[in-house]
Amino acid sequence: MTPALQKMWISFIAMGFMVISIFLIYLSRYKLKGFWRGLTAIIAYILMILAGLIIIVVVLSGPTT
In this prediction the pTM is: 0.88
Q: How far is C-alpha 19 from the chain's CA centre?
A: 7
Q: How far are the Cα atoms of 18, 43, 45, 63 from residue 32, in angstroms, in the given order?
A: 20, 14, 16, 43
For range 13-33, the mean pLDDT: 97
Residue 5 lies in a domain: no
pLDDT for the residue numbered 36: 96
Domain that holds residue 51: 11-60
pLDDT higher than 90, residue 65:
no
Q: Answer whether residue 2 is part of any domain.
A: no
Residues 43-62: tens digit of each pLDDT: 999 999 999 999 999 999 98
Residue 26 has pLDDT above 90, yes or no: yes
Q: Do the domain assignments include residue 23?
A: yes
Q: Do the Cβ atoms of 14 and 55 come closer than 8 Å?
A: yes
